[in-house]
Amino acid sequence: MAVVPEPTTSRRVTALDVAREVGVSRATVGFVLNNTPGQTIPESTRERVLRAAERLGYRPNSAARALASGRSRIILLVLPDWPVEFRMRDYLDEASLVLDKAGYSLVTYTRHPDQAARPLWESLNPDLVLGTLPFSSPDVASMLACGVREIYPDPDRPDLPDVSLAFSAGPELQVDHLHERGHRKLVYAAFTETRASSLVIARHQAASDRARLLGLATPDLESVDYRDDSPDVAVRRWLDAGITGVVAFNDDVAAAIASAAVRAGLRMPADIAVIGHDDSPIATMFVPALSTIRIDTAALGRGFADFVLHRVDRRPLPAPRTSPKPTLVRRETS
């Protein structure tokens, strides 16, 4: 267990303290602690430095390190304004872990809705800023002025791979399942507030491609708002149009649709089938329980971290990884 060093003098332990303790120079301490390549430190010295640092409870001052090296080793992920995926937590946990091993810290951040507060990249000096949507040009200018050297998505390099949760296997599985259950006319449903998000667009696209492959009509992207009667209106309209299968962007959307179906006295899946995405708590709590897709968020998080390390450390991207396979969780609405 860590012992608080010298509780009387609250001065922080610096590399100089460690150097003096061991009897080497400040630079040598830095070399062993940072594993600086190209330096050949005798094993005994290395050992003594490591032990002294441990004993004194030395923690490098990250501000000093950032100032001297020009790199903060902070990765900033800007999250969208709307409620984020239920599974995002696992995803970020896993990504943090991989990045941490490489010496980077992942900070997530949701901007104030009316952008009133200064953006976090001004006070954090991150090496890389990632967003789920392209940044506005004032934002990009602000990042550049703050010394951010890597921005993603990069307006100048639209070719970069997408590393969000927008992988296509989930939507494909949703469509496959409804098709298999005999549904021929489908619709893709999202919430109004998120319908323009890249994630919704990407998933709808994947579902559409799959439908076409199966010889079905392209499912329209329709948006509803759970706070008004738009789900009820939509369900009625869909039934009139002969649509019997609803591919929902996530479980919350599925719940809003299923909710309207219950209120309309419809039976699921006999009258209408609904399938969500993410396997979040609401899917099991809802009555009837919602069919959904479970995805391997941890694997996706690792993929995200690999991408980040590629950008900041020029590490090679791991071989075209086989996307983790999502699994169908069939419950009562399909």
Partner DNA sequence: CTGAAAGCGCTTACAG
Residue 110 contact, options a copy of itself, DNA, none, Cβ 5-8 Å cut-off depending on partner type: a copy of itself
- Cα-based torsion angle of the residue sequence 176, 258, 83, 107 in order, rounded to the nearest 10 degrees: -40
Residue 290 interacting with a copy of itself (CB under 8 A): no
Q: Is 147 left (phi over 0), alpha (psi -120 to 50) or beta?
A: left
Residue 112 contact, options DNA, a copy of itself, none, Cβ 5-8 Å cut-off depending on partner type = a copy of itself
Contact partner at residue 133 from a copy of itself, DNA, none, CB < 5 to 8 Å by partner kind = none
> Is 45:28 a contact under the CB 8 Å cutoff?
yes
57 binds a copy of itself (CB under 8 A): yes
Between CA 231 and CA 224 the distance in angstroms is 6
CA pair distance 276, 255, nearest whole angstrom: 8
E strands present in the chain: 74-79, 105-110, 128-131, 150-152, 186-191, 220-224, 245-248, 273-275, 292-294, 327-329
Q: Please, what is the minimum distance in Å from the beta carbon of residue 118 to a copy of itself?
A: 6
User: Which of residues 99 and 175 has its CB atom nearest to a copy of itself in the complex?
Assistant: 99
- The smaller minimum CB distance to DNA, of residues 14 and 327, is found at 14
Contact 99, 303 (CB under 8 A): no
Q: Which does 26 bind (CB under 5 to 8 A by kind): DNA, a copy of itself, none?
A: DNA
Sign of the Cα pseudo-torsion (147, 148, 154, 159, in order): positive
Judged by beta carbon, residue 83 or residue 324, the one nearer a copy of itself is: 83
130 phi and psi angles, rounded to 5 deg: -115, 145
Q: List C-alpha distances in Å: 260 to 91, 293, 310, 330.
A: 31, 21, 46, 20
- CA proximity to 274, closest of 187, 212, 211: 187
Closest CB to a copy of itself among residues 111, 185: 111
Site for a copy of itself in 114-173 (CB under 8 A): 116-118, 120, 122-125, 137-138, 141-142, 144-147
Q: Report the alpha-carbon distance of residue 47 to residue 240 in Å, rounded.
A: 76
Rg of the chain (C-alpha set):
26
Residue 161 is given by DSSP the state: P
CB nearer to a copy of itself: pick between 108 and 205: 108
CB of 53 to DNA, least distance (A): 10
Which residue, chain included where needed, has tokens 């639209």? 158
Q: Which does 286 bind (CB under 5 to 8 A by kind): a copy of itself, DNA, none?
A: a copy of itself
Peptide bond into 231 cis (omega under 30): no
| Residue with Cβ nearer DNA (34 or 136) | 34
| Among a copy of itself, DNA, none, partner that 215 touches (CB below 5 to 8 angstroms by kind) | none
55's contact among DNA, a copy of itself, none, with CB below 5 to 8 A by partner kind, is none
| Residues forming the site for DNA (CB under 7 A) | 11-12, 14-16, 23-28, 30-31, 33-34, 36, 39-42, 45, 58, 60-61, 64-65, 67-70
Q: Which is nearer to DNA, 67 or 196 (CB)?
A: 67
Say which entry of a copy of itself, DNA, none residue 15 contacts (CB below 5 to 8 A, set by partner kind). Answer: DNA
Determine if 83 is a binding residue for a copy of itself (CB under 8 A): yes
Binding site for a copy of itself (CB under 8 A): 1-5, 12-13, 57-59, 61-64, 66-67, 72-74, 83, 86, 89, 92-93, 96-97, 99-100, 105, 107-110, 112-113, 116-118, 120, 122-125, 137-138, 141-142, 144-147, 226-227, 252, 255-256, 259, 262-263, 281-282, 284-287
